[in-house]
Amino acid sequence: MGSEWVTVRKLDHRGREMVAYPGRVLRRTSTSAVLATRWERPPLDLGVVTLETGEPWVESFYTDRWYNLFQIRAIDGRLKGWYCNITRPARIAATEVVWEDLALDLWVDPNGRGSVLDEEEFVALELAPEERRVALETLAALRESIAGGRLPLAAVEGVMDEPLERTVGQSLRQRGLKLAVAESCTGGLIGHLITNVPGSSAYYLGSITAYAYDAKEALLGVRHNTLYTHGAVSRETALEMARGIRRVLQADIGLAVTGIAGPGGGTPEKPVGLVYISLVAPDGEWVERHVWTGSRLANKAASAEAALELVQQYLGGKLKG
């Protein structure tokens, strides 16, 4: 049950891993993958654009092209532009997407104006002459496409026009339903995303961030025996958290997340990245299990995204009791 997720691994030109983060699969073909992700690092000023923490991205990777393409939106859903990385062709597998960055980048603003970035870094790379030639030819072809209004954006356009927190909010409003959230490992991130949307008070009642065992018991009514028999990170605890927040805030839908964000705290039975997400509604109860493989921030972001996706699946009638 739930959406398909993969781990995205960004490597440098020598094959050394630079960062790993989760992506939700929006579309696959034999030569490409389109993923929904978020920028979950500190704000980064690139000169032409500032990448802000929490911004939703749609990333397109290709096994037969020397670039990838990231559509970047502001938290309010506004299109900021496209970031093209010149790369070796990606390796796309069932559970991961691996790409090797060649430093050279192209930024395209919403009006179609392009700016080349990091040329000096590219010049300094130790690359085979043939690779350097292909990389420069790829950049030239992309710039020509921009000049002709033909930037290859079809892979991302129309796939995810709005962040999940906006589409979930629209669905809740249309159905007249109220949502409440119990958070543990996400530390309030789900509530933060939901309340980034203007007018969310029409459908969002609030949340309780219950990190400690005592808080889960006192605020959400999770049974002492449940916590000490199954643990805070368990299907049973997630379900009781969702029931509790729905009862306490008198919501139509109770949503709960509990897990191990990392980097420590894992065991062989419960590894770092293990997360349980539960949704409780009048017509059923559901629990999803995920194991993320990114950093602490990336695991929190993936958990929040998956929780919103679970709500959207419920509202769309895709969950079976």
Q: What is the CATH number of the domain that holds 44?
A: 2.40.380.10
For residues 116 and 193, state if they share a domain.
Answer: no
Domain total for the chain? 2
For residues 112 and 175, state if they share a domain.
Answer: no
For residues 214 and 276, state if they share a domain.
Answer: yes
pLDDT, mean of residues 223-235: 97
For residues 71 and 180, state if they share a domain.
Answer: no
- Which of 121, 147, 173 lies at the terminal end of a domain, its last residue? 147
Share of the chain above pLDDT 90, in %: 74
- pLDDT, tens only, 154-183: 444 545 556 789 999 999 999 999 999 999
DSSP assignments along 39-91, one per residue? E-SS-EE-SS-EE-TTEEEEEEEESSSSEEEEEEE-TTS-EEEEEEEEESPPE
- pLDDT, tens only, 238-280: 999 999 999 999 999 999 999 999 999 999 999 999 999 999 9
- Which of 147, 174, 190 lies at the terminal end of a domain, its last residue? 147
Residue 269 located in a structural domain: yes
Strand partners, 182: 208, 256
pTM score above 0.95? no
For residues 11 and 141, state if they share a domain.
Answer: yes
Residue 59 located in a structural domain: yes
Tell which residue, 61, 50, 78, has the closest CA to residue 7: 61
H-only helix segments in the chain: 119-124, 129-147, 164-175, 189-195, 213-220, 224-230, 235-248, 296-315
For residues 226 and 186, state if they share a domain.
Answer: yes
For residues 116 and 80, state if they share a domain.
Answer: yes
**Which residues span the domain enclosing 89?**
5-147
For residues 30 and 142, state if they share a domain.
Answer: yes
What is the rounded average pLDDT for all residues in the chain? 92
Instruction: Report which DSSP code applies to 99.
Output: E
- Which of 113, 147, 181 lies at the terminal end of a domain, its last residue? 147
CB 255 within 8 A of CB 180: yes
Q: What is the CATH number of the domain that holds 196?
A: 3.90.950.20
